[in-house]
Amino acid sequence: MNTSKLDRFLDEFPQRGLPGCDLSVSRNGQEVYRRMVGFSDADRKRPVDRNTLYWIFSTSKVITCTAAMRLVEEGRLNLDDKVSDYLPAFAHLNIRQRDGTLVPATEPMRIIHLFTMTGGLDYSINVPAITEACALPGADTLSICSAMSKIPLHFEPGTHFRYSLCHDILAAVVEVVTEMKFSAYLQELIFTPLGMKDTGFHPTETQLARFAQPFDYNNADGSVKPIPIFNYYCFTPNYDSGGAGLFTAVDDYMKVITTLACDGTASNGYRLLKPETIAEMEVNRLCPAAWKDFVVGRLYGYGWGLCGRVHVDPVRSLSRSSVGEFGWDGAQAAFSMVDRKTRTAIFFGTQIANCNYAHNVLHPYLRNLVFEMLDGE
């Protein structure tokens, strides 16, 4: 396996003044490539290593959807269920018209709309419904997500795609179904069985000392500057953001996506999901109008399914991954990919905010370099 091209590409990171990064690739359940470059601190004294931790922001969605799909698999949650069956506040929703007036929604928001980002919400967090809920004593996942029902929708649920807080609400639904905190359910279902000791929503002081320094990227000139180690989606100490709240180590996260790439069975024999459940996650779930909305960066040839983006058209995408490949990335440029047909998983850890280059160029190119290496070209 010739790794030279991929090695050179990653080694250019610090040469460009970018922060450090860590790429892990598995195939058939085994790590076949790993490269850590650069530094994890602002002074460039602490090299990136296996102990480095990252806020992964929206890459959390893969884990949240996996956990929710386990409930679907068990028959405890149905995709067509109304969200209001679990969170009664969502029984009466309003849609904001172009002239600013509000009209009642005629269609209910359903569980599948949460998975597929077609619920009608957006990603605004500094709105009265959320800030007021966060200010209340004991504000937690259930109370804050229930308050999101007060936010006017942009469209009837299920009719369009809009990136939004839907996966946070999905986490709240999971709490109702399981009668557990979302973090506790993830610990029981995923983290403990897979041996993930450095993944969660609220890091300890010891863990915070191991975090990679995040940087803000200037898209105009390519410069970077350090920013605080902070996740603005961790609204309160009792809030578990299913959409963007997790931190992790690369080794930890790889255990989840490697398991998914291997038909849902981990190397220790633990069955996380059945193969037929994962197959349901490999299908585009957007209606034509919603699919038209879904053009994010260079994601031509992709749709959106039950676990993030889904590869549907290699001609349009120019991707070397299989049709059905799925995963997602994060606000500070983490990237994950599950390709079950080739039993391949990729996770890229870094901490660069507002970097259009990472989402539009780096991730697609990195994915193709990995498959070029694995295919022996």
Is residue 103 within a helix (H) or strand (E), and if so which, with residue range?
strand 102-104
Q: DSSP of 24-45, one letter per residue?
A: EEEETTEEEEEEEESBSSTTS-
pLDDT of residue 246: 98
Name the one residue in this structure whose structure tokens are 């034509």: 288
Residues linked to residue 360 through DSSP beta bridges, in sequence order: none
Residue 298 pLDDT greater than 70, yes or no: no
Inter-residue contact 183 to 240 (CB < 8 Å): yes
CA 73 – CA 192 distance, rounded (Å): 20
Inter-residue contact 350 to 54 (CB < 8 Å): yes
- 3-class DSSP state for residue 247? strand
Which residues, other chains included, contact 285 with Cβ-Cβ below 8 Å and sequence gap of 6+? 112, 115, 116, 303, 304, 305, 306, 310
pLDDT of residue 13: 81
CA 35 from centre of chain: 22
DSSP 106: S
pTM of the model: 0.97
pLDDT of residue 222: 85
When computed from its CA atoms, the radius of gyration of the chain, rounded to whole angstroms, is 20
Q: DSSP of 111-170, one letter per residue?
A: HHHHHTT-SS-----SSHHHHHHHTSTT-BHHHHHHHGGGSPBSS-TTSS----THHHHH
Confidence of residue 299 (pLDDT cuts 50, 70, 90): confident
In terms of Cα–Cα distance, which of 35, 54, 44, 48 is closest to 17?
A: 44
Question: How many percent of the chain have pLDDT more than 70?
Answer: 99
Question: How many percent of the chain have pLDDT more than 90?
Answer: 90
CA 269 – CA 246 distance, rounded (Å): 25
- Hey, what domains does the chain have and what are their CATH numbers? 4-60+183-374 (3.40.710.10), 72-178 (no CATH)
Structure confidence by residue, pLDDT tens digits, 220-246: 988 899 999 999 999 999 999 999 999
pLDDT of residue 377: 61
Structure confidence by residue, pLDDT tens digits, 32-62: 999 999 999 888 889 999 999 999 999 999 9
Inter-residue contact 110 to 83 (CB < 8 Å): yes
Q: DSSP of 42-101, one letter per residue?
A: TTS-SB--TT-EEE-GGGHHHHHHHHHHHHHHTTSS-TTSBGGGT-GGGGS-EEE-TTS-
Structure confidence by residue, pLDDT tens digits, 129-155: 999 999 999 999 999 999 999 999 999
pLDDT of residue 353: 94
In terms of Cα–Cα distance, which of 248, 276, 122 is closest to 191?
A: 248
